[in-house]
Amino acid sequence: MKRGKKLLLLLIVLALLTGATAAVKLTVKDDTQPEEAAATVFSLNPDEVTKLGWDYSEKVSFTAGESGWVCDQDAAFPVDETYLTAMLDALTEVTSTKTIEAPENLDQYGLEVPVCKITVSDGEDHTLSIGLETAVGGQRYFTNGDGNVYLVDDALLEAFQYGLYDVLKHQTLPEVENLSGLTVEVPGGGYTIARQEGSNLTYSDDYVWFWENRPLDNELTGTLLSTVTNLNLSRCVDYHAEDLSQYGLEAPSVTATVLDGGAASYTLEIGDTDGDTCYLRLKDSPMVYQADAALYNTLRYTTYADLQPDDVLLMDWDTVQSVAVALDGSEYRLERTVEKTAAEDGTATVETVWKRNGQSVALAPILDSLTAMTSNGYASGLTPEGEPEITFRIYRERETFSQVTLSFYAYNSTSCLVTLDGESTVTVRREDVSDLIASVQDLLA
């Protein structure tokens, strides 16, 4: 009897386990069923749409007019229609991979208060709602008003994730074909940077930009100019400003005019700054933008010293006839000659040879060291004292700047002061000048 009871008990347990296993298999089967075939749950013809609105971060709507889309909130709003075109493209055909028929509770899908609500008219009014993202990701719950809930691609929401200012059509700066200068006006002063190639304002044709006829460093000047010519107007804070004083633009702190071929191309007005950003606008425009405060600081506080060349000597030695070196109370003249030599194959080579008293000397390496010498500071406002340690008088085959005088003066324990035609330009390391003098002494010896 006991044995029969045990057998019956084992049979019952086996039956329970078999049923549980079947239930598990059934559950897994349901979870792994393939998705439904994609079906179109909303579509429209963009050419037939007369109204489009959406409520994502704020409620916005537009009506199609004869000359384009018009903002219902403000007819003066400049709309970038590429955004609206992309939105209509996204609504051209909305497909779903799964349908939840007539759910009782829309809130669990984020559709009671939708993440985004879209209204569109194409002869018929439609209201579309986009809800929460699904647990798997990449899809969202969606309703088209027929009482069902659908799973649609998350890209649909991405097309509508904008507020009013996000779809604003920003201004673009006029294209400058021949940048010729920049005029900057600030309270109590200002400056002008001008491109003057072949102007004979300096001894070297390599200098292109000038500040009141004084040469500028090409690279530094290009960087300054690019802050204006490459400015991206993308942060509009007021598309129709009526009170400019709240932005400091009633009396701008900086007025910068870009010159194209000598004529004004456009003018930027810059107002207040909070240390991180500044307000600006194109002159006479109602649209006010924000930009990095670096634009304000650069244009307002730049001086000639910030842009002056740091070259010791930028000389084209092919224009030079002779060089006189003054050292230790004496002056030594060295002449540049060009010599032609014929090779055995009949070809000729041309070589520049420096001579002193008819004898060839190795002056070229010394001249190259002058060209390669780098500054360690600017010397504007500094006055040389005493006699120069060494002076180079360079005589050129030019009507202008036929003589250029370069001098090195003792300045302090680490630097020497450089003057070019009597004007202090930069300072250089004293050890570089000591090496230069030693090279000249060896040459003359």
pLDDT in the model for residue 35? 59
Calpha distance 206→5 (Å, rounded):
111
Q: Are 184 and 256 in contact (CB under 8 A)?
A: yes
CA-based R_g, the chain, Å: 39
Chain segment 252-287, per-residue pLDDT in tens = 999 999 999 999 999 999 999 999 999 999 999 999
Q: Provide mean pLDDT across the span 80-105.
A: 96
Characterize the bridge pairing of strands 98-100 and 93-96. Answer: unpaired
pLDDT over 90 (residue 27): no
pTM tops 0.75: yes
Mean of all residue pLDDT scores within the chain = 90
pLDDT in the model for residue 37? 79
Query: What is the rounded end-to-end Cα distance, in angstroms, of the chain?
Result: 132
**Strand partners of residue 186:** 189
Q: Provide mean pLDDT across the span 39-54.
A: 97
Q: Provide mean pLDDT across the span 225-235.
A: 96
pLDDT in the model for residue 350? 83
Chain segment 148-158, per-residue pLDDT in tens = 999 999 999 99
**Strand partners of residue 264:** 259
Considering only CA atoms, which of 121, 124, 113, 41 is closest in space to residue 88?
121
- Judged by average pLDDT, the poorest of 137-141, 240-244, 339-343, 362-366 is 339-343
Helices 218-229 and 293-301: angle between axes, nearest 10 degrees? 130
Chain segment 374-416, per-residue pLDDT in tens = 999 988 789 999 999 999 999 999 989 999 999 999 999 999 9
Give the dihedral sign, CA 93/96/102/107.
negative
Token pair in block for residue 427: 């300072």
Token pair in block for residue 213: 């006829």
Strand ranges for 66-146 from DSSP E: 68-71, 93-96, 98-100, 116-121, 125-133, 139-143
pLDDT over 50 (residue 7): no
Calpha distance 215→203 (Å, rounded):
10
